[in-house]
Amino acid sequence: MTLLAIGSVAYDDLETPSGKRENVLGGSVCYFSLSASRFHPVRVVAVTGEDFGAEQRQVFHGRPIDLTGLEQRPGKCFHWKGIYGENLNEAQTLETHLNVFEDFHPDLPEGYRQSPYLFLGNIDPRLQLDVLRQMSERPQWVALDTMNYWIQGASTALTQVLAEVDILLINETEARALSGERNLLKAYRKIRTLGPRILVVKRGEYGAMVLTEEGAIAVPALLLEEVVDPTGAGDTFAGGFLGTLAASGKLDLEAFRRAVITGSVMASLTVQDFGLRGLEVATEQDIKGRTQAFSDMIRTGGL
Ligand code: AMP
């Protein structure tokens, strides 16, 4: 029972109010798999360049993360450069270099084609569609993340793939861009007509919301004194959220409530350091302790 995930493996140049870093290992599938694998085994599909070697693989070592579907090609990894101003909820993209992604056609290993849960992480919707088409049977659920870059640049493929998606995870601005609606309830109703019956809206430091036909859940974010680097918060949230859902095997409001709490806890670990470091060093105890403290905070208001 594994969770199959496609996304980017990237080197990022980052600038936040806390400082600047260059060539930091990141990408949607790295954040996602390090987060989700704390709760459920993950299989990864992605492409890397020659600049991704044994040292980088080591980050995933000793975790239930299957890298059989990680293809190495001549050239360089995907490269993204972003800057955050005082509003840490949204990055401004300065550069996107697709590099090895430009002519990547995923070829799923035979053993991957029957995964019960599928996460189509933030990447070209044409590749998301390609992976979905290669599944030998429809997964129990399909989840998808995307961003403005693709909503604007590849809307036809995105509409096609969304028609087959159960759970859509996006941020507030993306939900508005995709639906053309400012109001989130109206945005959900519009998005529902495109395919997804579950909409998860990531709202940065204000938390997250899950909208379904059975009802809605809103959870605040964990209060942190310092956010060092918000990069990867969304993918890490998706990892905690979907890893928890996959482990529960359920899709009901109680499962969503637990999943959104876990997603928020995992995202809080990521944003406390640059790149993947916060996720790499977090212990089982850190995660359990934060989950307990966060649940108490929601219930009783304590810090
Ligand atoms: P997040 O902050 O969770 O939205 O994700 C940040 C990660 O997404 C970074 O590590 C980037 O390398 C990666 N990323 C940025 N733009 C794209 C894109 N257009 N397609 C795929 N991944 C991207």
Per-residue model confidence as pLDDT tens for the chain (303 residues): 899 999 999 999 999 999 999 999 999 999 999 999 999 999 999 999 999 999 999 999 999 999 999 999 999 999 999 999 988 888 999 999 999 999 899 999 999 999 999 999 999 999 999 999 999 999 999 999 999 999 998 899 999 999 999 999 999 999 999 999 999 999 999 999 999 999 999 998 889 999 999 999 999 988 888 899 999 999 999 999 999 999 999 999 999 999 999 999 999 999 999 999 999 999 999 999 999 999 998 888 766
Residue 270 CA to residue 240 CA, distance in Å, equals 11
What does 30-78 look like in DSSP terms, one character per residue? HHHHHHHTTTS-EEEEEEE-TT--HHHHGGGTTSSEEEEEEEE-SS--E
User: How far, in Å, is the centroid of ligand 1 from the Cα of 116?
Assistant: 25
Instruction: Give the pLDDT confidence score for residue 303 in this predicted structure.
Output: 65
User: How far, in Å, is the centroid of ligand 1 from the Cα of 100?
Assistant: 15
Question: Tokens at residue 38, please?
Answer: 């704390």
Cβ atoms of 13 and 34 within 8 Å: the answer is: no
User: How far, in Å, is the centroid of ligand 1 from the Cα of 151?
Assistant: 14
Kindly state if the Cβ of 14 falls inside 6 Å of ligand 1: no
- Coil, strand, or helix at residue 188? helix
- Angle 233-248/28-36 helices, nearest 10 degrees? 40
**106-134: burial string, b at 16+ Cβ within 10 Å, e else:** bebeeebeebebbbbbbbbbebbbbbbee
Instruction: Give the pLDDT confidence score for residue 234 in this predicted structure.
Output: 94
> Euclidean distance between the first and final Cα of the chain, in Å?
37
Kindly state if the Cβ of 170 falls inside 6 Å of ligand 1: no
Cβ atoms of 56 and 70 within 8 Å: the answer is: no
| Cα-trace Rg, the chain | 18
Question: Tokens at residue 163, please?
Answer: 């028609």
- Give the global pTM: 0.96
User: How far, in Å, is the centroid of ligand 1 from the Cα of 296?
Assistant: 32
Name which residue sits closest to atom 16 of ligand 1, judged by CA.
80
User: How far, in Å, is the centroid of ligand 1 from the Cα of 231?
Assistant: 8
Kindly state if the Cβ of 229 falls inside 6 Å of ligand 1: no
